[in-house]
Structure 1
Amino acid sequence: MTTEPITTEAKKVRNFSLLSNRAGAAFLTPAGLLVSVFVIVPFFWVIFVSFTNRTLLGRTALNPEFVGLANYLALFDPATFFQRGQFGFSLILTTQFVLASALIGQALLGLLLAWLIQTVPPWIKRLTETFVIAAWILPEVVIGFAWFAFLDRDAGTLNMMLNAIGLPSGDFLLDQPFWVIVVFNTWRGAAFSMMLFNSAFSSIPPSYFQAADVAGATSWQKFRDIAVPLIRGHIVTNLILITMWTFNTFTPFLLTNGGPSYRTELVSIYNYRVAFQDFQFGKGAAVGVIMMLINLAFALVYLSIGRKKKAPGT
């Protein structure tokens, strides 16, 4: 007589178990709603707006018209594509910025710094990691204004240091704005790369390096033949992240405002100017869609490289 109630209760407990599909769906529903409202819906809305002439002011603010590919054709117009202040110039400038700042600067510098601190005493390693983490977690606005004060022509710290050793001061933000934002972004982004590669190197069993020491391998040989192949997945992950972050970064706006004369107007800054200063929402949405496709292409290329099997004997 007591078997049936126990069996029924057990079924109820099993049906409402935290590991059941019903419970999983209940926990995922709030997150799914938030993602839908703040990610999926805006995503498709931006794509739709990119095919219209929507603006903030004027007749098309309330009644935008469908213009098809007109916004995209205007962005890739051969007559103006390479002119300063146009999308083509910003796209080429951003490509150079990504190559110099992300791939050469952040990834390579972070990798070398992470390898070098593996050989220093533990207290120096901990101190270095502390400063690196501090540089990474500071808000971008704070970092931007700190660098602006460092590079200021009249009372900047850099010019004061140059004058103290007898060298002439310079207006770096005006004379070399592109290389200023490259160095600035490299300094900040290398911190992330260094932390990621430092964790990757720490996960390699010490016996690998001990065996290499017995064989008489140099530091470069250990780095090339042991360390780098074993952290290949981390390298791909780092490249994906810093490439997309650098391509989409807006922080250089705090230093140069996209100038002088559009010489530092990256695609993200160009998109901001078109959409929120010129109020051309349709054209700005088209730029956003193109940026999304470029980011997707970056990710697919890096993932395809990471999935390739190593050739035998390498």
Structure 2
Amino acid sequence: MATDAAGLGRRRAAVFVAPALLLVAGFLVFPALWTVYLGATDYQLTGLAAADPQFTGLDNVRRALDEDQFTHSLGLTLQFVVGSAVIGQALLGFTIAWLLRDRTGPLRRIVEALVLLAWILPSSVVAFLWIALLDRDGGTLNTLLGTGNTAWLVEHPMASIIVFNIWRGTAFSMMLYAAALGTVPPSQLETARLAGASAWQQLRDVVLPRIRGHVLTNLLLISLWTFNDFTPFLLTGGGPGDETEVMPVFIYKTALFGGELGYGAALSVLMLLINLVIALVYTRLLRAREEAAS
């Protein structure tokens, strides 16, 4: 009787889980497998390869690794990730969380609301706002700085999208660090202060060791999000030239503008593998930290 009841329970659980599994299979697993398959063909939007694509194996991968355009795009993407996520968002988010940790009242609410507003607004909206801000003729930034007709998106394209992404994505780091700082016992900070520790020493010796796991988690998430961010295309279109052609933009232009869907799919698979490497590095660091703590 108990065996029948357990079997019935498993069948009921399977019935409830089945819709979710079908959705995962339909919207995640199947597209991923289809992308891998396309990456092993010469499939294109037009021409003979569109009507009768041929299996080419790893030729697209070899082509990507041999072409300077792929390595150039990968280098730009790493610059974008390190500059805007690993350095910019992480440091600015922690700084805001640290400065607001003991504050209450309207100032804290206003700062948090402004930071969150940049995060929740649609990408197309904030892109147009930043284009107006950085415009050569009558742009808000040129007016404020008195820099004349500086074309920021043309003369300083990578710096522009890095600053934009820092402004855009700092909210997540701020919220995560604010929650992490709440786990630091005030008694430890007070003891360190009474012992004569400076603010920097309290941060280095008391706070950072307690929130190291949160720091690694934050770096992992914002690095992956930034690596796959398509928003720079809305600001620069990958230009001028290819100076801001990060990997998502490079793949988009290759697959749709160039019509090389097979090659674009292979680039997507390579991009996925790079994301996995980044995730594994952060996971190993987090695991090593947990083992050291235990």
Q: Residue in 2 aligned with 1:67? A: 56
Give 1:65 shift: 0.2
Establish whether residue 286 from structure 1 lines up as the match of residue 283 from structure 2: no
Establish whether residue 127 from structure 1 lines up as the match of residue 110 from structure 2: yes
Find the aligned partners of 2:176 and 2:282 in 1 and give their Cα distance.
17
Q: Deviations over 1:232-277 (max 9, x none)?
A: 1211111111111111111011110000111110011000001111
The change in CA–CA distance for 1:216 and 1:121 in structure 2 (over 3 A counts) is farther
The change in CA–CA distance for 1:23 and 1:222 in structure 2 (over 3 A counts) is farther
SS at match of 1:292: helix
AA matched with 1:181: I
Alignment of 1:134-213 (within 5 A): 134-163=117-146, 167-213=147-193
Q: Deviations over 1:193-213 (max 9, x none)?
A: 111111111232322222223
Find the aligned partners of 1:128 and 1:162 in 2 and give their Cα distance.
23
Which structure: greater helix fraction? 2
Q: Residue in 2 aligned with 1:3? A: none
Of 228, 244, 261, the match for 1:248: 228
Greater Rg by CA: 1
Q: Residue in 2 aligned with 1:267? A: 247
TM-score (norm 1): 0.87
Establish whether residue 297 from structure 1 lines up as the match of residue 277 from structure 2: yes
Residues 258, 269 of structure 1: 8 Å contact kept? yes
Find the aligned partners of 1:61 and 1:310 in 2 and give their Cα distance.
51
Percent same amino acid among aligned pairs?
46
SS at match of 2:73: helix
Q: Residue in 2 aligned with 1:5? A: none
SS at match of 1:221: helix
AA matched with 1:111: F
Instruction: Report the number of matched residues.
Output: 293
- What value does the CA root-mean-square deviation take over the aligned residues? 2.1
Give 1:310 shift: 6.8
TM-score (norm 2): 0.93
Q: Deviations over 1:120-158 (max 9, x none)?
A: 344322221121111111111111111011111112111
Establish whether residue 113 from structure 1 lines up as the match of residue 96 from structure 2: yes
Find the aligned partners of 1:229 and 1:240 in 2 and give their Cα distance.
18
Residues 118, 125 of structure 1: 8 Å contact kept? no
Find the aligned partners of 1:23 and 1:312 in 2 and give their Cα distance.
43
- In structure 1, stretches of 5+ residues that fail to align are 1-7
Q: Residue in 2 aligned with 1:88? A: 71
Q: Residue in 2 aligned with 1:218? A: 198
Give 1:312 shift: 7.4
Q: Residue in 2 aligned with 1:276? A: 256
- In structure 2, stretches of 5+ residues that fail to align are none
Residues 107, 190 of structure 1: 8 Å contact kept? yes
Residues 213, 289 of structure 2: 8 Å contact kept? no
Find the aligned partners of 1:59 and 1:169 in 2 and give their Cα distance.
48
AA matched with 1:73: R
Find the aligned partners of 1:196 and 1:43 in 2 and give their Cα distance.
30
Find the aligned partners of 1:275 and 1:65 in 2 and give their Cα distance.
17
Q: Residue in 1 aligned with 2:12? A: 23
